[in-house]
Amino acid sequence: MKKTIQLLLVLAFCSQTGFAQKETTILTIKNTAEAPTINKNIYGHFAEHLGRCIYGGFFVGDTSKIPNTKGVRNDIIAALKELQIPNLRWPGGCFADTYHWKDGIGLQQERPTIVNKWWGGTTEDNSFGTHDFLNMCEVLGAEPYLSGNVGSGTVQELADWVQYTNFSGKSPMSDLRKKNGRTEPWKVKFWGIGNEAWGCGGNMTAEYYAGEYRKFATFMSDWENTGGITRIASGSNSEDYNWTEVLMKSIPNNMLGGLGVHHYAVIDWSKKGDGTDFSEDGYFHTMKSALKMEELVTKHAAIMDKYDPAKKVAMIVDEWGAWYEVEKGTNPGFLYQQNTMRDAVLAGATLNIFNNHADRVRMANLAQCVNVLQAVILTDKAKMITTPTYSVMKMYRVHQDAKLLPLSFQSPLYTFNGETLPAISASASKDKNGAVHISLVNVDAKNNNKIEIDIKDLGVKNFTGTIITSAKLQDYNSFENPNKIVPAVFKGFENKKGKLEITVPPFSVLVLEGK
């Protein structure tokens, strides 16, 4: 069998002229049989009824002149299939705990309207509902992840939704599904029991929510489908470790398939900064917040280990990404922001953290998929573009369901105004065909970093490279210039006596493949 090695080096590039670090980072690959598999669901996405994510994003209606299939844009479907997205979370977010699923089924003209109280106060007509979302997931080849309404819903309502989507026998809900045009169930596996219960999901205490979770989970069952359903608890807000402690202590492991964690990279919640007009100070502190994910995952995992040493309960980081001020002139409730090379660096570093904690992190959802926060796709009427984050997710897809290869190295430091961050993050994996992939992120905004990797034992000799770079860290793809940041051939490496020597510029996205 041919061995292939791809080195995905996701690195930062700045408008200032970079200079090479004197030190060389020596990266060692450990091929150990005990390493876990990187669950493909780490590369999941999130679609909330927020701004133009659903309406005007995914869904334009079947009368639109924009090419669509049953109202869903064909170009978005094609782009997400190219990403091989493994799962998609819906309908929220905060919206989930105001959403009543029965309002979104049946004839569209008979569906009631709803006011989106969380995001802009807009009125929605429920034209995009359960059938539309689950059928779209089938087309994408993605597992649906449904967030249930605990805040304003009932136990019966959520239990009915499970029966409606999953039960093939005769029952009130399966009969209703068939009446609405779907004979076979969708067999939805992933179910969130509420969202951000500590905040918009009800402002609950951890103790109160634990009781609510146990009650709702008791009445959610699926006896027909192999493995049943995975019930996911609303997890902590960033470093609220008490929330994790209380839930792990209060909920039996056999009732808990996953426990969430939410963390956004934000400079300051009172002044989040601009998405494109930012200085190195703004870049550094955004990355400082993003890299805090390592500490959060490590500490939450340690608490989970106390109550679940067998690691049966998955950590699910079902909201992550950068959060800036909205683009000037747009609705502040729609959370529309541009996506620069800074976001590519952030995405690469975060995914490396998840990969390296694959023993516990088994699902994550970038917020959000289209037109909201750190989106991979932006639309403007009939126009559609992909972002630098899209490129990173596409390159990193090689890690999906591959065996983790632990790495060891000592990172150089990125220094700014007396503060420091690790300049390099990395993760590696080996897929079922024997291909090895290594992803690296150079967080440094000014300096080149030299990387040396011993490849003698990998059985690979010939390398090719691809790079994504731009003149400034603040550059982005626009509707006027959608291809400003595109991949190009990269040749800035040498193979010397079984050691791969790479000089990587500040913030560029690099892929090396060796055969």
Please name the residue ranges forming H helices in 329-396. Answer: 341-356, 388-396
Residue range 398-413: mean pLDDT, rounded: 93
* Distance, CA of 232 to CA of 255 (rounded, Å): 9
Query: What is the reported pTM?
Result: 0.93
pLDDT for 256 equals 95
Domain architecture of the chain: domains with CATH: 5-36+405-514 (2.60.40.1180), 40-401 (3.20.20.80)
Residue 340: pLDDT band by 50, 70, 90 thresholds? very high
pLDDT for 27-77, tens place per residue? 988 888 889 999 999 999 999 999 999 999 999 999 999 999 999 999 999
pLDDT for 82-104, tens place per residue? 999 999 999 999 999 999 999 99
Q: Tell me if 128 sits within 8 A of 55, measured CB to CB.
A: yes
42: tokens are 């780490």
User: How many C-beta atoms lie closer than 10 Å to residue 26's C-beta?
Assistant: 14
CA 217 to chain centre: 25
Active-site amino acid positions: 196, 319
Please name the residues in contact with 350: beta carbons below 8 A apart, sequence gap of 6 or more: 290, 293, 320
pLDDT for 248-268, tens place per residue? 999 999 999 999 999 999 999
Instruction: Work out whether strand 424-430 and strand 403-404 pair parallel, antiparallel, or are unpaired.
Output: antiparallel
Question: Which of 303, 200, 181, 190 has its CA nearest to residue 247?
Answer: 303
User: Which H/E stretch holds residue 114?
Assistant: strand 114-115
Residue 9: pLDDT band by 50, 70, 90 thresholds? very low
pLDDT for 450-483, tens place per residue? 999 988 777 667 777 777 888 899 999 999 999 9
Q: Tell me if 389 sits within 8 A of 343, measured CB to CB.
A: yes
* Distance, CA of 94 to CA of 112 (rounded, Å): 20
Please name the residue ranges forming H helices in 155-236. Answer: 155-166, 172-179, 206-218
pLDDT of residue 17 exceeding 70, the answer is no
CA 180 to chain centre: 32
pLDDT for 483 equals 93
Sign of CA dihedral 411, 413, 419, 425: negative
